[in-house]
Structure 1
Amino acid sequence: MKYKNPIIRGFHPDPSVCKAEEGYFLVTSSFEYLPGVPLFHSKDLINWKQIGHCLTRPSQIDLKNSKCSGGIFAPTIRYHEGTFYMITTNIAKGNFLVTTKDPFGQWSDPIWINRMGIDPSLYWEDGKTYMQLATRDEEGLNAIEQFEIDVATGEIVGECNIISRGCGGRDVEGPHMYKINNTYYLMVAEGGTREGHMVTVMKSNSLWGPFEPCPYNPILSNRDYGREALQSVGHGDLIEDNSGNWWMVALATRPVKHKHVLGRETILMPVIWTEDGWPMVKDRCALSEVEVEELNGEISETDNCVKDDFEVTSLAPCYSMMREFINDKYSLTERKGWLCLNGDKYTLNDLEASAFIGRRQEEYDFVAETKIDFKPTAPNEEAGLVIYLDNEHHMEFVLTIRSGEKAVILRKNVADIKIETEWVKLDKEAEEIYLCIKGDKREYHFYCGTTKENMKLVGSTMVKHLAIEGANSAFTGTFIGMYASGNGKDMHTKAYFDYLGIENKHI
């Protein structure tokens, strides 16, 4: 049977996976977006459903004024003796872990570990908990450190020791420790999280090394497969399924002409074992379409069209906000069946939290649509749909006032170039306006109208203007969002969104 990569599409990097009685659980990085650390569940490793987040309240996480691609870095999820553990890094404050008995419910408040570094991981043996961490040695070179911790308190027990400096590649990070057939395997990421990214592995008879590099390294990388759709492949985590087969989750990008906007996504590849006891992916290459014999069951058809009518009282797990839980800036109960956004002085250009709620762009080819009820009273008031990468790279398609008339404008923000390129006057009697964004690999196209049937093209912009390769955000991806703002004025800018519909063309 065949399945397609990515298995989780859109900005979902640095995947980590574990197995428990209820199936498989996977987490990814979230950086400056909240809620933090998206959490997914699967019964077969192929079909995944987001069930929530690990960090859902201010007592767990504070990202106020976080820089672009700051915030929450690579997490690790593990299941041990009835408890789930998620350990990660808040790049501004340090490393911490949260726990739960029920991954479908709430996670604990953070337990902090007083040790600097990134990409923490956990391993248990003989009643002790060991933490692996990407750090720097006494000469400032990248290295992997290991030490024992008390998971109840975060206290470090004993010494912290460097156990590896990698297998020869730059930027060794993303460590994960496994014991398989009485052998310790240390898997890491090397090569930097761009075209040279790779997964390497080493093994030892001791938890503390010395570790012997695999002679077949890298065991997964597309650095030498330039024609493959997936690139920048790396940062892997191993998992054994219930039938004894081994798999690796990893991150990858889908660039167009060496640029991408979707962010780093989650892929899955089957793992084989060599006769001399090394895990590796066949041909050491990640494929966008994978044929395997190890899977049982059926591959669920991806739901290409998703429409949220906002009929419930809480946001679906797919939505994100930036840097703060903006509970005072939105409501799903003020007007039944509508999302209400309360804009304030902050805009998408600011690092402060604006009235923005969005979901990840999952495909280059998509159609996003909403119906908005918004009555601006001044030229600074605006609300509508946006494509957002970071505070200097975003496209706003909003209702506002121009020349004393209600209008829809398209504003392009590309680094230091910020310009309104087109605007159209609206009928004074029109209260509800349809906004639509159509995307492809080359352009975003922006449409508006008083009905869905008579929408007209307002303007277009190049996708490459939001390319991650030229932006502030090396680690995130684009969002399709709803937005309201008073643009520097402390006005009560209130906008109602009837629905958000997104239709994706999966490739």
Structure 2
Amino acid sequence: MKKNILNNYKPVKNTIIALALLSFSVVFSQKTKVSSKNTALFTSFSYTGNDAVYKENPLATNEFYSSILQGCYPDPSITRKGNDYYLVNSSFAMTPGVPIFHSTDMVNWKQIGHVLDRPAQLKVEDSGISAGIYAPHIIYNKYNDTFYMITTQFSGGFGNMVVKTKDPAKGWSDPIKLQFDGIDPSLFFDDNGKAYVIHNDAPPAGAALYEGHRVIKIWEYDLAADKIVQGSDKIIVDGGTDIKQKPIWIEGPHMYKKDGKYYLMCAEGGTGGWHSEVIFKGDSPKGTFTPAPGNPILTQRYFAKDRKDKVDWAGHADLVEGPGGKYYAVFLAVRPNDKDRVNTGRETFLLPVDWSGEWPVFENGLVPLKPKLKVPVGVKNQSGTNGYMPNGNFKFTDNFKSGKLDLRWIGIRGWRESFTTLSKDGLRISAFATNIKAKTPTSTLFYRQQHASFEAVTTINYQPKSANDLAGLVCYQNEGYNYTFGITKNEKNYFIVLQRTEKGISKLVASEKISLNGNIALKVTTVGDAYTFSYATDEKTFKNLGETVSGDILSTDVAGGFTGALIGLYATSGNDIKP
């Protein structure tokens, strides 16, 4: 992870779901006031992707898109039990935390829930959006038939922690705190019964040679007690592949054993344009580890900046043996928009890997990444059908009448159950006193932006009681960088307003007086960096508000951090927009 988070991180040294939710709601209500009078009814939502790369590269029947999870699904990790594959991602301050996906063929993925799905496991209510949960590693231990997920939680006093389960679809344990510093921990289970934790850390005090100098450290792990063995730690990589070249940000380590040798694969170069994946080999888990002569084994850093269908920042990978003994890697990468900005965040990509020789070779991992891959023999691409996650250009619709929220809806810092209610009429959001600029929970239900070009439309039935009330759509990178597009009141009149917030400073872009006679449709449309906001009082004849605005503030390039842009259904009784 990046240095701004590391410098602020001070690691801590020394289940019944219903009761956990109840106890959380009591604590939560002491911090956040819910307005029983100010509620907004959302009767529908639709999101439609419209990226040129998918139009220009349609799939044949034996193909699938290499970006298997579009939008903010970074730092993927994957494991296998028999014919079942499980994949997890970083979730930062999103609630629930750590989305988890299942597949039997590496092509078609269903979200089966979240690993951290209750307040006892995840405490991010006061967290920065790019704090919270970092780089989860999921692994199955065949020797005790148990799944583990180990991660760093930069919030709630957790630090490094592990949870475990016998069945990923049936919930995970409460967190077990682990007493070591650093980030990006992973577990390795050797075939002699021993277990280890590997992670990124700072060099010993006074030994840092340059900015970004990090080390990879290993500890023995006591499986019976779920704790590291104190005094067993050892640095196994110092700096990276060649410390003479001053490599930066060696992190995201994963260990594998093949043909009697131990392989250590890590990200190197930081999570931006110099990102890469490198690999080392040793005779034991504690080394000595020798870097591969062909490092890096995955990167996009050497190619023309203006290349077509650009995919960039590739790295932070994990390997798994797939169907038929073929290896695959999941990794993060980004798809910049027409202004070379990253609004969709770091996404999960997949590549086949040839590990028939001494070293794993990412197939086409050292050329500009292509948008499509061949499906394995006997596998049918079912993305977007039968409950499988869609990719490419797709449409997601929700009328909120299924009785439960789709797993793709998330909160930021606050749990969805604390402000949402589903009924036969749709989704009702009860407004908090906090507005979208708060660094505390807000009453906002978020959907990830998954395309550079998209259209999102919601229908809302809402009548604000005062100037403090507002409900509508937000386009959100974080509390200091966002657009708010909604309905509010000024004296006796109702208004549609559009506000831009940059560096925490808000500016009214446009406002227009309207009549409220029923449902109003709100729409945001993007073509790359160009965003337009429009509304329809008859749900079909849309009128633009504020002309075209830049999506720059919704990019990590401008706003910073590690998350992608989100689209939110939003209500507040703490509105400060004055039409």
Q: Give the aligned partner of residue 117 of structure 1.
A: 182
- Are residues 1:162 and 2:235 paired? yes
Q: How does 1:44-443 map to 2 (within 5 A)?
A: 44-81=105-142, 82-92=145-155, 93-125=158-190, 126-138=192-204, 139-140=207-208, 141-158=213-230, 159-165=232-238, 166-168=240-242, 169-226=247-304, 227=307, 229-256=310-337, 257-273=339-355, 275-282=357-364, 284-285=366-367, 287-292=369-374, 294-302=376-384, 303=390, 304-332=394-422, 335-402=423-490, 404-428=492-516, 430-443=517-530
Deviations 1:214-260 (A, max 9, x none): 01100000001232611000000011112011111100011133311
- The structure with the greater share of residues assigned to strand is 1
Aligned-partner residue type, residue 451 of structure 2: E
Q: Is the 8 A contact 1:271 1:282 kept in 2?
A: no
Of stretches 444-453 and 258-267 in structure 1, the one that deviates more from structure 2 is 444-453
Secondary structure at the aligned position of 1:437 is classed as strand
Higher relative contact order (CA 8 A, sep 6+): 2
Distance 1:336 1:416 in 2: 38
**Seq. identity, %:** 34
- Are residues 1:15 and 2:76 paired? yes
Aligned counterpart in structure 2 of residue 478 of structure 1, from 565, 568, 573: 565
Distance 2:424 2:534 in 1: 26
Alignment gaps of 5+ in structure 2: 1-61, 385-389
Distance 2:520 2:575 in 1: 25
Q: Is the 8 A contact 1:72 1:91 kept in 2?
A: yes
Deviations 1:276-322 (A, max 9, x none): 44444335236232444744322225451111111133321101111
Using a 3 Å threshold, how does the CA distance of structure 1 residues 413 and 488 change in structure 2: closer, same or farther?
closer
Secondary structure at the aligned position of 1:250 is classed as strand
1:275 to partner: Cα distance: 4.3
Q: Is the 8 A contact 2:108 2:383 kept in 1?
A: no
- Are residues 1:462 and 2:550 paired? yes
Alignment gaps of 5+ in structure 1: 490-507
Distance 1:291 1:313 in 2: 37
Deviations 1:108-140 (A, max 9, x none): 111111111111111112222211111112124
Distance 1:137 1:281 in 2: 34
- The structure with the greater share of residues assigned to helix is 2
Q: Is the 8 A contact 1:2 1:289 kept in 2?
A: no
Q: Is the 8 A contact 1:62 1:324 kept in 2?
A: no
Aligned-partner residue type, residue 122 of structure 1: L
Distance 1:299 1:172 in 2: 35
1:72 to partner: Cα distance: 0.4
Q: Give the aligned partner of residue 4 of structure 1.
A: 65
Using a 3 Å threshold, how does the CA distance of structure 1 residues 433 and 282 change in structure 2: closer, same or farther?
closer
Using a 3 Å threshold, how does the CA distance of structure 1 residues 265 and 283 change in structure 2: closer, same or farther?
closer
Distance 2:368 2:100 in 1: 23
Q: Is the 8 A contact 1:219 1:281 kept in 2?
A: no
Secondary structure at the aligned position of 2:552 is classed as helix
Distance 1:298 1:9 in 2: 20
Secondary structure at the aligned position of 1:229 is classed as coil
Aligned-partner residue type, residue 434 of structure 2: Y
Secondary structure at the aligned position of 2:557 is classed as helix
Aligned-partner residue type, residue 574 of structure 2: N
1:431 to partner: Cα distance: 2.3
1:75 to partner: Cα distance: 0.4
Distance 1:160 1:329 in 2: 45
Q: Give the aligned partner of residue 539 of structure 2.
A: 452
Q: Give the aligned partner of residue 492 of structure 1.
A: none
Of stretches 131-140 and 416-425 in structure 1, the one that deviates more from structure 2 is 416-425
Distance 2:374 2:463 in 1: 55
Secondary structure at the aligned position of 2:553 is classed as helix
Aligned-partner residue type, residue 292 of structure 2: C
Secondary structure at the aligned position of 1:327 is classed as helix
Q: Is the 8 A contact 1:220 1:281 kept in 2?
A: no
Secondary structure at the aligned position of 1:38 is classed as strand
Distance 2:98 2:373 in 1: 30
1:274 to partner: Cα distance: 6.6
Deviations 1:344-364 (A, max 9, x none): 210111101010111111112
Distance 1:202 1:320 in 2: 38
TM-score under structure 2 length normalisation = 0.81
Using a 3 Å threshold, how does the CA distance of structure 1 residues 327 and 291 change in structure 2: closer, same or farther?
closer
Using a 3 Å threshold, how does the CA distance of structure 1 residues 161 and 286 change in structure 2: closer, same or farther?
farther
Number of matched pairs: 485
Secondary structure at the aligned position of 1:249 is classed as strand
Secondary structure at the aligned position of 1:108 is classed as coil
Distance 2:237 2:298 in 1: 19
